[in-house]
Structure 1
């Protein structure tokens, strides 16, 4: 044992450290993928738009050439050409859909992993609602690219083709088409000005309401037991009505603008038909040109009509991408990607300061101590002393404001997560098991070695309990599956923390839900881990387990009040009349393999 060491070891600088993720590179690649795919789709849209002239041109030729010449050969030739053009149109339209699908798949493949990592980081700092938002944005973006909405602006870009054909039929046709297009573009811009802000406010209010409901549902038992549901329902109802009213205003304005654009489109088709009839009467055009011009006018205005209708979808997709990009940039990882070999060494906490993001009041203030292999450290102190925050920083789940946590000289926060997880076991205060089998949970969702899983379960004292479950280690747990008691969940979570015999074991209130048998198993596991050379950090209010600690860290108001040998600390605190004097003073016996 190394109980007498007071000098803090100097942290090592890892020269191989480099960013775990080049976010700017990911963003550039995603943007390049999107632009390249959009370029190919745009080229195909040009050919598709040209081929869409097949129907009006076929009608024009039939009226002006076939009917006048009474030639069936000409009719058959025109029919063959038209059918071939329509078939080619269908093929290109299908290929364009495949391009959009590949764009969505490629974008998701490039951004998915960093987005999930960013979501986890944001969930740790701001809560699960903010963390899951980026995943919803990814899904919305994928659905947008896969849908038909994305193609409308591409077709609108090729509208000059139809304008040129209309000018070729007659200048009046072209002027009428140009005026109609400008009117529809004006309606689109006006609609965006009227809808953008109110829709954003309604969406934000709706997301806040959903977050409030989701956070409250987790306390359903207390709500039901204390009759809080009527009051909560009224509050939710008010918030939902407010959000719904904002969204309804936006929808009403959007639908109003869409109705106006459709009115203009149908009205302009009537105008162009009447104009064509007049031009036929005065002999300036033919009946075929009149019919063809009317059909082309409808096709010219259709993409602008669709753009007006789907403008909000484009704005929503752009907003989703901005949120994704912003989150990736804000959470750009500083952690290493190079795995660090498993090693043994002390745990050094050096002048650790932590303040919640957005707050100027630190939760931890200059915490420093050192722990050596084989030692058990008990962390005690009143509520809100910063004990749980310290545990999160020890395992790299939060970024220190200043100072650092070093395990064998390596920064715990910057350590590559996979190899760091092999070194550390963590049992948080709020125990949560993941959807999956008990085997999956104990093995940390890895392809596990059954022997390691059973060894961890035996160490935690849950092997026999698991054997009594319906499917043993293959029993599925989680939402809607086999329900475990609080004590069973805590002991399985302890087995997960012990899996692979980590070098650092951080346990936050590990005996909170345990009975006498469970606490005895916990004590055996802690002592066995220390005997194997692991460093154990225990945070507990129930003081009985603290008699097995070698050292004590007394915290108050985020600071270290005292740190040292357990017996020395208890003696000092007893003299000062502190409540910690109730911790039993039991001398440790030396056993083979480490301290008992």
Structure 2
């Protein structure tokens, strides 16, 4: 059995990358500063680039007016040397500007990547939405936009007064034609934006909804296929796609129509300037070289505005991506402690806990209070929709309490810095999911884990031998399109992940739902070992066999604590004739009816 570990250098880099992020306002402010600073530097470089772009028209003007008239080869050589030098300098500065955009994109994404993804994951846990993949797309779109050619067009247009100045110097009519052309192109750009903005936003929102709907269905492909739901879903998706396509077609038609109009206008203006120059030459008011140079400069003057009309959608999409990133960061303010908290040994205290889902006025948990001491096992029972799984999520800090709080050794589990909190807590959710990676990486919580700790956790969960029989042992890749595990195997590996590092708080939601007798025996041994090691264990289960090892029982009903105390006391209280236990699941009801004994006669 071999383990592949990362180098010390990569580990140090990973630690630097996972340092706690700044609060959202500071992060957004620094991101804006990075963008503005890079754009300012690129704009300054663009000024020199625009000056150098006058090389070709001025070279043409000088050759036509000086070289041809003087028949001087020496003058032509000198002009050629100057022009070649200017073109080489232009290429160097253009490369520097491209590298500026690349560095700006890298710096911006380095600041936003981790905080935005972490914020998206937090929001998805609290609101039940799935913005994580959208944030990744938005970050990629932002990087592509900054690295692309679209961002440079407004900078080119910003320095248009240089070309206007040269045109006025050639002849006032040239300058006046340039001003009129710029005003017309700007007006058409604004008109195009006005005509397409609303429909483009609707199309973008509809497309995002379609992607989210299809993405949310992928994990349930087996149920969809098994129950013949695919034709109905396909019809719904096709109708939604048709609607989105219609909106996109309207938006594209308007955008392309406006771009065709502006391009035709640009070419028409160039023809007009050439005709005007010819008339001025005939009247003797300007030279033939000025006529040619003015026409070329006119085309160069209008080109950035033409590109802005063509690329405005890229700016709109980039702005939308930035707003979504900003909103997700602002929704999830950095409320958690920045400094890691050392490992502690104290009790778990739940104090008047209230939790309501965002947008819902009816709390799921209503004034819950209890405590657990180190080494104790708490069993939580109750009917479906009583709030048991929600309570488990709040206990581990995955959801923010609406009121009250959950405190581990006096520290709020929600405000705890997540890296050090992970060393304290193990969690097995009701819906077991393993990440793409090897079994070793999953058990080691995707860290550069100590192989001995991974094996210890696997032995504690009773899966060491099972893993050894897999194709590559602990290095067997699992996840999408990789080695397929059964439900029981997934649950036992997820249990090993929860036990990794012997956490002080272990929260297990339906840990024996997919286990056979052997797997449940291993689970019970793991729970008892964790308890004997001083861990606090919270068990949520419907199957009664595991509750015999609980020291305390908590009965939840409609989000409230119906009973809490020592296991024997709670069982006795629920066994009284006047106590209503009909709301409990069948297995829990039998457990209470038997006086805390198993159906096979085992003592509780």
Distance 1:343 1:480 in 2: 40
Separation in 1 of the partners of 2:45 and 2:253? 35
CA distance in 1, matches of 2:95, 2:22: 36
* 2:590 counterpart of 1:582: yes
CA distance in 2, matches of 1:129, 1:244: 23
Residue 495 (structure 2) aligns with: 494
Gaps of 5+ in 1: 1-18, 589-594
Which range moved further: 165-174 or 222-231?
A: 222-231
State the distance in 1 between where 2:22 and 2:370 align.
32
Q: After superposition, give the CA deviation of every residue in 1:115-142 in whole Å (9 maximum; x if it has no partner).
A: 1221111121234532322222111111
After TM superposition, give the deviation of residue 23 of structure 1 in Å: 2.1
Pair 1:169 & 2:177 matched: no
* Counterpart contact for 1:378–1:551, Cα < 8 Å: yes
Match of 1:135 in 2: 136
CA distance in 1 between partners of 2:424 and 2:483 (Å): 30
Q: Does the 8 Å contact 1:547/1:585 carry over to 2?
A: no
Contact 2:425 2:506 in 1 (8 A): yes
Matched residue of 1:351: which SS? strand
Partner of 1:316: 317
2: CA distance, partners of 1:25 / 1:485: 46
Deviates further, 238-247 or 316-325: 316-325
Q: CA separation in 1, counterparts of 2:21 and 2:136?
A: 20
Report SS of the residue matched to 2:187.
Answer: helix
Name the structure 1 match of 2:6: none
Q: Tell me the residue number matched to 1:563.
A: 564
Instruction: Report the Cα distance in structure 1 between the residues aligned to 2:580 and 2:120, rounded to whole angstroms.
Output: 47
Deviations 1:459-481 (A, max 9, x none): 10000000100111111111111
Secondary structure in 2 aligned to 1:495?
helix
1:304 and 2:305 equivalent?
Answer: yes
1:74 aligned onto 2:82: no
For residues 427-446 of structure 1, what are the structure 2 equivalents within 5 Å?
Answer: 427-446=428-447
The answer to whether the Cα contact below 8 Å between 1:571 and 1:581 also exists between their aligned partners in 2 is no
Separation in 2 of the partners of 1:127 and 1:533?
A: 34
Contact map agreement 1:347 1:408 (CA 8 A) in 2:
yes
What is the match of residue 450 of structure 1? Answer: 451
* Other-structure match for 1:346: 347
State whether residues 351 and 367 of structure 1, in contact with CA within 8 Å, keep that contact through their aligned partners in structure 2: yes
CA distance in 1, matches of 2:207, 2:31: 29
Matched, 1:101 2:93: no
SS at 2:131's partner residue? helix
Tell me the matched-pair count.
572
Shift of 1:221: 1.5
CA shift at 1:320, angstroms?
1.6
After superposing the two structures, state which structure 1 stretch, 30-39 or 128-137, moved more: 128-137
Aligned equivalents of 1:31 and 1:280: distance in 2?
A: 51
Matched, 1:227 2:228: yes
1:72-471 equivalences under 5 Å are 72-127=73-128, 129-471=130-472
**Deviation string, structure 1 residues 151-170 (Cα, Å, up to 9, x no partner):** 00001010011111111111
Distance 2:22 2:171 in 1: 59
TM-score normalised by the chain length of structure 1: 0.94
Aligned counterpart, 1:53:
54
User: Is contact 1:20–1:336 with CA below 8 Å preserved after alignment?
Assistant: no
Question: Which region of structure 1 is more displaced relative to structure 2, 296-305 or 165-174?
Answer: 165-174
Matched, 1:536 2:537: yes
Aligned mates of 1:365, 1:577 — CA distance in 2: 20
Aligned to 1:478: 479
Deviation, 1:574, is 2.0
- Any conservation in 2 of the 1:433–1:493 contact (CA below 8 Å)? yes
- Relative to the length of structure 2, the TM-score reads 0.93
Q: Report Cα offsets for 1:169-199 as digits up to 9, x if no partner.
A: 1111111111010000000101111111100
Contact in 1 for aligned 2:163/2:301 (Cα 8 Å): yes
Give per-residue Cα distances to partners, 1:440-470, cap 9 Å, x unaligned.
1111111111111111111100000001001
CA–CA separation in structure 1 for the residues paired with 2:384 and 2:596? 25
Q: Distance in 1 between matches of 2:580 and 2:308?
A: 76
1:48 to 1:163, Cα distance in 2 relative to 1, 3 A: same
Query: Do the aligned residues in 2 keep the contact of 1:20 with 1:335 (CA within 8 Å)?
Result: no
What secondary structure does 1:507 align onto?
A: strand
Deviations 1:67-112 (A, max 9, x none): 1111111111111110000000000000000000010011111122
* Residues in 2 aligned to 1:335 and 1:167: alpha-carbon distance in whole angstroms: 61
**SS of alignment partner, residue 340 of structure 2:** coil
Give the SS at the match of 2:514. coil
- The whole-number CA distance in structure 2 between the counterparts of 1:577 and 1:108 is 58
